[in-house]
Amino acid sequence: MPIIEVRALSYSYPDSTRPSIQDVNLTVDMGEFVLITGPSGCGKTTFCRCLNGLIPNSYGGTFNGNVIVDGLLTTEHQVFEIAQHVGLVFQNPENELFCTTVEREVAFGPENLALPRDEIRSRVEEALSVVGISQLLDKSPEELSGGEQQKVAIAALLAMKPRMLVLDEPTANLDPLSARSVLKILSSLNTESDVTIILVEHRLEMVAHMANRCVIFDDGKLVLSGEPSDVLYSDMVDRIGIGIPKAVQVAKRLALNSKFGKRPLSSLELADIIMLKGDKG
Amino acid sequence: MILFEDVSYSYAPGRYALEHVNLSIGEAELVAILGENGAGKTTLVKHINGLLRPQIGKVTVYGIDTKTSTVAALARKVGLVFQNPDHQLFAETVEKELAFALVNFGMPLLGTSSGVDWAIKEFELNQYRERPPFLLSGGERKRLALASVLCYNPQILILDEPTTGQDSRQKSRLANLLKRLNREGKTVIVVTHDMEFVADFIPRVVMLSKGRVIAEGLAEEILTNRELLMSASLLPPQLAELSWDLTLKKPSIDLEQVISEASSLLGGSPR
């Protein structure tokens, strides 16, 4: 069952002469993990803003086409309604956190839904434990590291029990270890709690094997969509200039696909194929 | 040219941000300073332009003890580009931003305009000349911050996390510029935890952990040393990891090297 349906979507910001996205079509099923990537300025961020209705509701501009998220047509519903279905995480968590403690930050959303006290408390506890920061309950978000702040931002959304998370480069300002830990949380939310994930990310080597779909934007257009092993092995991605994982680069040069019909996405998968000379599986 | 002799520095009693650091960086080197969050990377480079002075030990830049010099005097030789361009940019227009340091250093008008023109051309900022810096995109602001430092031609260039928020094409463009500046004789110091960027482009590495220099030398050797990376809580570059997974005799961070080794494991030659 589709949770997102985007049909013939084109959008230009106010006062802009060229469209930021052009004729985009995409259907995402419940429970998918969709990785979106592409060069800077390709329209990824604009697309994310369309998914939770910030565009066009808060930005204005010229909007054509339809975006239906969890059954809501974004042009007919307000951002606060759509926000109860879609959680959006931005690049810079500092811009989202504003409460004096982590507990209040995570409780803020459920409080605004006027949920009973016990329900709020249990949602906060659960959300913090899912992202692994229960011990930070009483801390001020300001004193946390970037990685911890991003986890607080994700927990705050989880407390709203969204069926889908949209994350726009959540690891852009994080060190590699924190980035990997945030990405692993997303993967387990997807596999264990069945949350649909739409993730904009440049660190393909960390995330390509977690996703079941990879979507590439270039110059405002959706140019490729498919399984990561198809998309990253297509000839087109080399021309677009995204950071192809080294394991994929090596496998391409060794022609593992034509020799053994294998398209590894991670170092371990690649090593397995080479050590067994393609025998297994 | 840059010399740290037994340098220690502490922001708060009982905990050293830098501890007994000895380090020498020569003329026209291209070097990465690597380390986890809080390892002391930024504290280290702030000692080079005199923003911080050693509490114990001595830092000399071109033979001048930083304790006897001012930040203003050192700034002409040492250009520091911050991680967040918004901590650096403040002028009303891109052009004024670029001219600020030159005017401030008392450069004659002619020299100022040629420095600004050079930077505008080099960084493709011509269409933004009259625009306020805060209206540029994140990537463009990052380029402007670098341009505003380079236009006064410091001999030593320090960049703090220059690759955050940059896509792969922008990263390789940045790497090419840094290599060119380095060939032209500048010393370029990159503070980063972007292992892939270092593995792909930077030949020499200084590795910090908990305020100490735990290794320095060729990137090829340090970034393929598993125990060392683990002790510094750093993730290995992808090619090093691949080398270990393939149990290569000589792990490498060079793509061609790994391809050729992997290919001989397969018993064929690469395409």
State whether A250 and B168 contact (CB < 8 Å).
Answer: no
CA distance B234 to chain A (A): 7
Residue B155: per-residue pLDDT:
94
A177 contacts in chain B (CB < 8 Å): 36, 233-235
Instruction: Decide if pLDDT at A162 tops 50.
Output: yes
Residue A278: per-residue pLDDT:
63
State whether B271 and A205 contact (CB < 8 Å).
Answer: no
CA distance A87 to chain B (A): 22
A217 contacts in chain B (CB < 8 Å): none
Nearest to B116 by CA among B72, B74, B150: B150
- Mean pLDDT in residue range B179-187: 94
Chosen from B141, B169, B191, B231 to mutate, greatest number of chain A CBs within 10 A: B169
Q: How many CB pairs under 8 A join A and B?
A: 88
- Mean pLDDT in residue range A148-154: 89
Instruction: Decide if pLDDT at B271 tops 90.
Output: no
Instruction: Decide if pLDDT at B247 tops 90.
Output: yes
User: Between these two residues, B179 and B105, which has the higher pLDDT value?
Assistant: B179
Q: What percent of chain A has pLDDT over 90?
A: 65
A207 contacts in chain B (CB < 8 Å): none
A45 contacts in chain B (CB < 8 Å): none
State whether B242 and A245 contact (CB < 8 Å).
Answer: no
Residue A281: per-residue pLDDT:
44
Confidence of residue B268 (pLDDT cuts 50, 70, 90): low
Instruction: Decide if pLDDT at A280 tops 60.
Output: no
Q: Assess contact for B115 and B127: CB atoms under 8 A.
A: no
Phi, psi of A5 (to 5 degrees): -130, 115
Query: Exposed e or buried b for every residue in A52-69, given b needs 16+ CB within 10 A?
Result: bbbbbbeeeeebebebbb
According to the 3-state scheme, what is the secondary structure of B141-173?
HHHHHHHHHHCCCCCEEEEECCCCCCCHHHHHH
Segment (H or E) for A279: none
- Mean pLDDT in residue range B5-27: 93
Instruction: Decide if pLDDT at A177 tops 90.
Output: no
Of all residues in chain B, the one with the smallest CA distance to A146 is: B37
Residue B134: per-residue pLDDT:
82
- The CA-to-CA distance between both ends of chain A, in Å, stands at 31
Residue A199: per-residue pLDDT:
96
Chosen from B246, B248, B256 to mutate, greatest number of chain A CBs within 10 A: B246
- Mean pLDDT in residue range A4-15: 94
Cα distance between residue B108 and residue B120, in whole Å = 19
Instruction: Decide if pLDDT at B15 tops 60.
Output: yes
What's the mean per-residue pLDDT of chain A?
A: 91
Residue A251: per-residue pLDDT:
95
Q: Assess contact for A60 and A178: CB atoms under 8 A.
A: no
State whether A39 and B267 contact (CB < 8 Å).
Answer: no
Going by the DSSP 8-state scheme, the letter that residue B68 receives in this structure is: G
Neighbour-count burial of B185, counting CB atoms closer than 10 A to its CB (0-12 exposed, 13-18 middle, 19+ buried): exposed
Of all residues in chain A, the one with the smallest CA distance to B230 is: A177
Residue A150: per-residue pLDDT:
87
State whether B259 and A253 contact (CB < 8 Å).
Answer: yes
- Mean pLDDT in residue range B21-48: 93
Strands A21-29 and A2-12, sheet pairing: antiparallel
Instruction: Decide if pLDDT at B4 tops 90.
Output: yes
State whether A175 and B245 contact (CB < 8 Å).
Answer: no
Q: What angle do CA B87, A173, A97 make, to 5 degrees?
A: 80
State whether B258 and A250 contact (CB < 8 Å).
Answer: yes
Chosen from B196, B209, B224 to mutate, greatest number of chain A CBs within 10 A: B196
Which of B168, B242, B263 has its CB closest to that of A243? Answer: B168
State whether B242 and A267 contact (CB < 8 Å).
Answer: yes
Point out which residues pair with B262 in neighbouring strands: none
State whether A271 and B246 contact (CB < 8 Å).
Answer: yes
The verdict on A161 touching B (C-beta cutoff 8 Å) is: no
State whether A250 and B255 contact (CB < 8 Å).
Answer: yes
Residue B193: per-residue pLDDT:
87
The residue type at A179: A
- pLDDT, tens only, B41-69: 999 999 999 999 999 999 999 999 999 99
Q: Is A179 helix (H, G, I), strand (E, B) or coil?
A: helix
- pLDDT, tens only, B75-124: 889 999 988 888 888 888 999 999 888 887 777 777 778 888 988 888 88
- pLDDT, tens only, A228-271: 999 999 989 988 888 899 999 999 999 999 888 999 999 999 99
A41 contacts in chain B (CB < 8 Å): 137, 139
DSSP conformation letters of B165-230: T--HHHHHHHHHHHHHHHHTT-EEEEEE--HHHHHHH-SEEEEEETTEEEEEEEHHHHTT-HHHHH
Q: Assess contact for B223 and B207: CB atoms under 8 A.
A: no
Q: Which residue has the tokens 């090593």?
A: A271
CA distance A2 to chain B (A): 31
Of all residues in chain B, the one with the smallest CA distance to A42 is: B167
CA distance A28 to chain B (A): 25
Residue B53: per-residue pLDDT:
95
- pLDDT, tens only, B136-165: 877 788 889 999 998 888 999 999 999 887
CA distance B120 to chain A (A): 21
State whether A270 and B239 contact (CB < 8 Å).
Answer: no
- pLDDT, tens only, B189-208: 999 989 999 999 999 999 99
The verdict on A41 touching B (C-beta cutoff 8 Å) is: yes
Of all residues in chain B, the one with the smallest CA distance to A277 is: B266
Cα distance between residue B260 and residue B268, in whole Å = 9
Residue A115: per-residue pLDDT:
92
State whether B242 and A176 contact (CB < 8 Å).
Answer: no
Residue A161: per-residue pLDDT:
86
Cα distance between residue B123 and residue B144, in whole Å = 8
Lowest mean pLDDT among A53-62, A190-199, B32-41, B97-106: B97-106
CA distance A97 to chain B (A): 19
pTM confidence score: 0.87
State whether A277 and B266 contact (CB < 8 Å).
Answer: yes
Residue A279: per-residue pLDDT:
64
- Mean pLDDT in residue range A57-74: 94
Nearest to A200 by CA among A163, A233, A172, A230: A172
State whether A41 and B137 contact (CB < 8 Å).
Answer: yes
Neighbour-count burial of A258, counting CB atoms closer than 10 A to its CB (0-12 exposed, 13-18 middle, 19+ buried): exposed
Lowest mean pLDDT among B122-131, B174-183, B237-246, B256-265: B122-131
Of all residues in chain B, the one with the smallest CA distance to A204 is: B168
Residue B112: per-residue pLDDT:
79
